[in-house]
Every structure is written in C-alpha cells, then in structure tokens.
C-alpha cells in the first residue's frame, strides 16, 4: 500500500512539472529584467562603516554607492586594478569594478568577467558602442551605464580593463536549487532579493536568483554568493539540450564553447554563470536586441528554443563549475 502511494505521488509530481512546462511562459521582463519601481528608495545611510566576511577593509555606504569607486574588499587576492576598473573616468565611464566587482564576479544584474578572453571582452564593448548589443530594456540602469561607458571609453582604457579581468580566476558563487516554491522577492536595485517575512510562492515558469546575504552583495563584495531557484528536472533537461540530445533543434554547445564549456579561443566560457544572465543573453539573441558578427552563429541556435528551453539551459550551465 505504501509503495503504491509513493508511486502515485511520484507520478503526480512529474505530471505537475510537465503541466507547468506546457503552460505559457511568464513574461520574462518581471524576473529576468527587474526594474526598480517609481517609488524605490535606497535604505538611508546611517553613517556606519560596512564590513564583509574575511576582510579588514571598511567602506561607508556613500562609498559603496559611488559608481566611480570599486570597493576592494580582498585586495590581496588579485593584481592591482587599473584606474579605469577601480575608479572609472568621470563623467561617463563608471568604474568597471563597480558593477562587475573588483574580482570580476559580477551578479545577476551584470556579467561575470573573470577569465573571459580579452578579445571577447573588447568585442562586447565594441558591440555596445555600435548598438549591436542594446538589450531588451536598454534604459534599465545596468545596460544604460554600459552603453554610455562603451561610447566614451578609450581604446587603451578598454584594453587595460579587458586584460585585468581576463587574468582573474572565475569563482563559483551560485547554487542551483530545483523546487516548485520559492521565497517571495522584491526588486532591490535592478536585482531580486528575498522578503524578510519568509513567505513563499509558486515558482512558475521563471528563474528566481537572489543573494544569500543581501548586505554583502549590496556592499559590492565580490565573494557574495547566490541561490538560483529553478523547476524540478530543469538541470537534467538543460544538460540534454546543451549536449544536443533533445531532438534536432540545437547542436552541442561544446562545438564552439569547448568540451568542458569553459571557452575555446576567443569564445567565452558558459559554465558556472548566473542563470538569470544566461537566460537574458539567449532571449536577446533570439529577439535580435543582441546582434553582430560575434553572435551570428547563436541566432540559429536560439531560433528553435522556447522560453522553457532557455530556462533549462541556464539552470544546467549555472550548476557547473566555472
């Protein structure tokens, strides 16, 4: 009797997941492209100095909010930052390390740059400058600042930043969890954060990626960690898609990105990246808001992908070691 009950529960669980996948995908703008509401205000500055684990450094709230300063919580762990990375150049070029962090780890709202090929980073700057890479919501602050900076940065500054980030070692900072329910969230500055009340809600057809410790990420600590919640079976199905085993819609990603998916020549690593970020790139390539010669091979790949496929691929890639 108990065995039959367990089998029935298993069947119902699989049916529930399948039914959820068959449902119309949610509008990705609400979770993949969080936008601060009109009444959004940053928490008041109480004048205290911030601290993060494993660091003797101290920064004020005003400093961690200054886009012409990259808080360097762990200076012993990386080479000296070029000035364009640590301070930017007023008025148009924000400190590269402000969004991408001093150790290049980025976050759900921005790319991880650590270990990416120099040529690839330079091509992205050129694409932002030319308009080939505009994003689905170019007015959203992370995109707007990147476009503005790319148009103003000099060739020498760009090469200096690209060489610095390329020399850094990628860090694993994402945990992928498969579940049907997730913590309720709110937009905390172009990314999602957990509500303090501890309430949960159905996940639906989306990825919910949140900092494990909001105050660490908000302080721009490059060692902040994240949990990305995805539907049950997402990682397994994403693995099949990435390997080219899910029908004939796409070929194996390893053909271009390498057998371990950690990049091949000027082609970037896609292993261990933010699932939300990966979803946005696939979505933007398919929609045409990210174009240019460098992404042309991906147009055919994304043409056959559904929103659910993109979520599964992003989930699998996020589960890998970078």
For the stretch 181-201, pLDDT in tens is: 999 999 998 999 999 999 999
Please state whether the peptide bond connecting residue 198 to the residue before it is cis, i.e. omega within 30 degrees of 0.
no
| 3-state secondary structure (DSSP) of residue 125 | helix
Domain boundaries, the chain: 24-34+171-318, 49-166
Across 190-285, the runs of DSSP E, i.e. the strands, are 192-194, 200-202, 208-211, 226-230
246/285: higher pLDDT: 285
Whole-number Cα distances in Å, 315 to 2, 38, 101, 139, 274: 33, 31, 23, 27, 9
How far is residue 322's CA from residue 82's CA, in Å, rounded to a whole number? Answer: 24
- Candidate from 12-16, 39-43, 206-210 with smallest mean pLDDT: 12-16
Strand 226-230 versus strand 208-211 pairing type = antiparallel
Give backbone dihedrals phi and psi of 45, rounded to 5 degrees, phi first. -80, 115
Nearest residue to 60 via CA among 70, 51, 49: 49
pLDDT at position 293 is 84
The DSSP code for 294 is G
What's the mean pLDDT in 130-153?
Answer: 93
Average of per-residue pLDDT values in the chain: 91
122/4: higher pLDDT: 122
- Candidate from 8-12, 173-177, 301-305 with smallest mean pLDDT: 8-12
Please state the pTM of the whole predicted model.
Answer: 0.91
What's the mean pLDDT in 69-76?
Answer: 98
- Candidate from 26-30, 219-223, 233-237 with smallest mean pLDDT: 26-30
Whole-number Cα distances in Å, 2 to 8, 13, 102: 10, 16, 55
pLDDT at position 3 is 45
Instruction: Note the pLDDT tens digit of each residue in 228-252.
Output: 999 999 999 999 999 987 654 556 7
How far is residue 98's CA from residue 83's CA, in Å, rounded to a whole number? Answer: 12
pLDDT at position 21 is 52
Same fold, 24-34+171-318 and 49-166: yes
pLDDT at position 8 is 41
Nearest residue to 187 via CA among 27, 30, 28, 65: 30
Longest dimension (CA), the chain: 72
Instruction: Note the pLDDT tens digit of each residue in 73-127.
Output: 999 999 999 999 999 999 999 999 999 999 999 999 999 999 999 999 999 999 9
Overall CATH class of domain 24-34+171-318: mainly alpha
Overall CATH class of domain 49-166: mainly alpha
């Amino acid at each position: 009797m108990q065995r039959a009950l367990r089998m029935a529960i298993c069947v119902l669980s699989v049916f529930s997941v399948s039914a959820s996948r068959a449902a119309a995908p949610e509008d990705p703008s609400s979770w993949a492209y969080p936008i601060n509401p009109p009444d959004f205000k940053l928490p008041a500055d109480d004048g205290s100095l911030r601290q993060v684990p494993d660091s003797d450094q101290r920064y004020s709230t005003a400093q961690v909010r200054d886009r012409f300063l990259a808080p360097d919580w762990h200076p012993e762990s990386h080479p000296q930052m070029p000035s364009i990375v640590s301070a930017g150049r007023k008025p148009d070029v924000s400190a590269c390390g402000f969004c991408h962090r001093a150790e290049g780890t980025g976050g759900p709202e921005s790319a991880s740059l650590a270990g990416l090929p120099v040529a690839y980073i330079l091509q992205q700057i050129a694409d932002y400058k030319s308009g080939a890479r505009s994003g689905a919501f170019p007015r959203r602050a992370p995109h707007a600042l990147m476009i503005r900076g790319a148009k103003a940065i000099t060739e020498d500054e760009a090469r200096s930043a690209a060489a610095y980030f390329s020399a850094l070692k990628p860090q694993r900072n994402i945990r992928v969890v498969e579940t049907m329910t997730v913590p309720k969230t709110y937009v905390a500055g172009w990314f999602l954060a957990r509500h303090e009340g501890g309430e949960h809600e159905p996940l639906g057809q989306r990825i919910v990626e949140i900092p494990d410790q909001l105050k660490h990420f908000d302080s721009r600590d490059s060692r902040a960690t994240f949990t990305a919640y995805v539907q049950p079976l997402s990682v397994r199905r994403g693995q099949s898609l990435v390997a080219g085993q899910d029908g004939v819609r796409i070929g194996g990603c390893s053909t271009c990105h390498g057998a371990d998916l950690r990049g091949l020549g000027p082609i970037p690593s896609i292993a261990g990246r933010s699932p939300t970020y990966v979803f946005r790139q696939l979505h933007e390539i398919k929609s045409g808001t990210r174009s240019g010669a460098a992404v042309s091979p991906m147009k055919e790949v994304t043409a056959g992908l559904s929103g659910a496929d993109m979520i599964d691929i992003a989930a699998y890639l996020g589960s890998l070691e970078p």
